Structure 1
Amino acid sequence: MTELRLGFAGVGKMGGLMAARLIKAGHPLTVFDANDLAAEPLVKAGAKRANTLRDLAGHAEIIFASLPTPDVVREVALGTGGIAESGTTKLFVDLSTTGPRVARMVAEGLAAKGITAVDCPVSGGLAGARNGTLALMVSCPAAAYDQLQEVLEVFGKPIFVSEIPGAAQTMKLANNLLAACAIAISSEAFVFGVKGGLDPATMCEVFNASSGRNTATLDKFPRSVLPGTFDFGFSTALAFKDVKLCLDEAEALGVPTPVGNAVRQILGLTQAMFGPESDFTSMVRPFEQWAGVEVRSPPKSERA
């Protein structure tokens, strides 16, 4: 794999950290981002900079992409000057969250040009991207996965989901729906307990030793809510986008999502109240305001 020419489109918060891991692992890398400043740290670390997407596609046999929206992914893959026009690129590895319908569209469009699309959304946030502990959900032809597995392990743990285009996106949306639901219901539970006089750190300890434990009580609340930092590393806007994508896909499949719809409403309120760039752990804050309490507990070393 180290002899293959790799490219990376979209080196913002997540993409930049993942691209840096490729460089550190010794992979020759060319990067492109619409924001020139985003590429500068990677160029200093040894990457080559492509001035255009067409330039990137002309230099790389395998292109990774970490992009903000399905529309941007579609344009990068299939638009004018995009990956589909490359005579060099053989694999397009999309690390974004787009939903299965866009993933299928990209796979079909690229296949017509002799390029294999690899659907590879990730989970684990900025910390996972930085530390190489992401979960990577992969759907693509088995031969492509075999070719990529070693380099994907630079990012974390790849899990092969299916050869069906878009299957990994379905898996990612289901995962992110659960993650958002966990924060929403945990917010209700914590605010209820604090309003009733309980210490949130004690609540966390009990939850995590009991049947109520979930990803929010195990990680997100103790890391970002109890200290009041709200810095888990995933924006409210992105969480809202992912939940909406999931519910749209579920509706198309005829699957009812009453709980998911409630979570989407909470994310929409959080976004309106605290801004799209607020951390998605801010979902607890509307509940706090309505109840007139805060779910905070200083570290044990700072307690009286």
Structure 2
Amino acid sequence: MSMRIGFIGLGQMGFPMFLNLLGKRLDTNTEMVGYDKSSDHMAGLRRDWPDAAPYLAQDEAALADLDVIITMLPNGAAVRESLLGSADNPALVDRLASNATVIDMSSSSPMDTRALADILAERNVQLLDAPVSGSVPKAREGTLAIMVGGATDIVERMRPIFMAMGSKLIPTGAVGSAHGMKALNNYVYAAGLLAMSEALLLGKALDLDLSVLIDVMNASSGRNVATETKAKQHMLHGGDFKAGFGLRLMAKDLGIAASLREHAGFNPPQLDLCLSLWQQACEQLPPEADNTEIYRYMAARLGAYL
């Protein structure tokens, strides 16, 4: 497979994904170019990663004639602007190669993704939505789980690209389905982390051994990703509260999940409550707070002791 691949969004998740893709180039003729709109960030990457520097674009003009463009941006609005342009920037989609493929690996609204897919199709560009599950360490290891929505033949053609960044690829159906499933998955995770945090605070009030409490959960029906990979590793006994996924990103994904209620025609009450608590935590905690900080936020909110 010989092609020209661009990667937009070289942040905490995007840059290690780009490095893995760069390190596992599918063919000696495959060209790679990475870009982030922050010139300061790009300068820092060139300084700190000299081996990757030749593959980092000097400006957006280097993104022309791409066969594949991968986006890993904060939200769907940023993806749309990067592709369709704005008053200050020409549309990138009009500078792509014929029959190009856009792979949006951001966490975006499935309804917005479907609308964007229709706009791109009018320009003979195909869209796959391919959000990832896993934090920064998994992005570095190349062991992300990747959901992908879109035409089966295009998904299979792009499979080697996905497997350079992740260890599991899950086709989810039509365009937009992967973004929908990612939002709902993150809701279930956020609810589990929140419930575990409250249980730990209750356990602390009862003078229980919290490590043993987590062992009980992990051997019983209370087991979830938070109990298995967050509590002892990042939250208890002087934990670092650095699990690799921002609290604000979690709140954003909960907002996407909550927006689906308009399409569904009903309002899930637990989702509404969960979103409200995470949004309030965002207001109280610093911008860089990790999602595991919800534990300390709930302790302060409830007047409990850690």
TM-score between the two structures when normalised by the length of structure 2: 0.90
Question: Match for 1:30 among 30, 33, 44?
Answer: 33
Contact 1:119–1:138 at 8 Å: present in 2 too? yes
In the alignment, does 2:175 pair up with 1:176? Answer: no
Q: Quote how far apart the aligned CAs of 1:45 are.
A: 2.2
State the Cα deviation string for residues 233-291 of structure 1 (Å, max 9, x = none): 11111111110111011233213211111111221222122123200111111222224
Contact 1:30–1:59 at 8 Å: present in 2 too? no
Q: Structure 1: which 5+ runs fail to align?
A: 295-304
| Correspondence for 2:123 | 113
| Correspondence for 2:220 | 210
- Compute the RMSD of aligned alpha carbons: 1.6
Question: Match for 2:169 among 136, 152, 158?
Answer: 158
| Correspondence for 1:84 | 93
Contact 1:177–1:243 at 8 Å: present in 2 too? yes
Q: Give the direction of change, closer, same or farther, for the CA distance of 1:257–1:54 in structure 2 (3 Å limit).
A: farther
Question: Match for 2:144 among 126, 131, 134?
Answer: 134
What secondary structure sits across from 2:164 in the alignment?
coil
| Correspondence for 1:301 | none
* Amino acid in the other structure paired with 2:294: M
Q: Quote how far apart the aligned CAs of 1:139 are.
A: 0.5
Q: How does 1:1-304 map onto structure 2 within 5 Å?
A: 1=1, 3-27=2-26, 28-36=31-39, 37-38=41-42, 39-40=45-46, 41=48, 44-45=51-52, 47-56=54-63, 58-79=64-85, 80-88=89-97, 90-156=100-166, 157-162=168-173, 164-226=174-236, 227-289=238-300, 290-294=302-306
What secondary structure sits across from 2:145 in the alignment?
strand
Q: Give the direction of change, closer, same or farther, for the CA distance of 1:105–1:55 in structure 2 (3 Å limit).
A: farther
Total equivalences in the alignment: 291
> Which stretch of structure 1 is more off in the superposition, 34-43 or 153-162?
34-43
Contact 2:9–2:36 at 8 Å: present in 1 too? yes
Q: Structure 2: which 5+ runs fail to align?
A: none
Structure-2 separation of matches of 1:20 and 1:182: 32
* Amino acid in the other structure paired with 1:9: I
Structure-2 separation of matches of 1:277 and 1:177: 20
Contact 1:29–1:47 at 8 Å: present in 2 too? no
* Amino acid in the other structure paired with 1:149: R
Contact 1:122–1:137 at 8 Å: present in 2 too? yes
Contact 2:102–2:127 at 8 Å: present in 1 too? yes
Q: Quote how far apart the aligned CAs of 1:43 are.
A: 5.9
* Amino acid in the other structure paired with 2:305: V
Structure-1 separation of matches of 2:130 and 2:50: 25
Structure-2 separation of matches of 1:210 and 1:250: 32
Q: Quote how far apart the aligned CAs of 1:53 are.
A: 3.1
Structure-2 separation of matches of 1:78 and 1:54: 15
* Amino acid in the other structure paired with 1:51: Q
Q: Give the direction of change, closer, same or farther, for the CA distance of 1:87–1:266 in structure 2 (3 Å limit).
A: closer
Structure-1 separation of matches of 2:111 and 2:298: 34
Q: Quote how far apart the aligned CAs of 1:118 are.
A: 0.9
Q: Quote how far apart the aligned CAs of 1:47 are.
A: 4.5
Q: Quote how far apart the aligned CAs of 1:105 are.
A: 1.8
> Which stretch of structure 1 is more off in the superposition, 246-255 or 188-197?
246-255
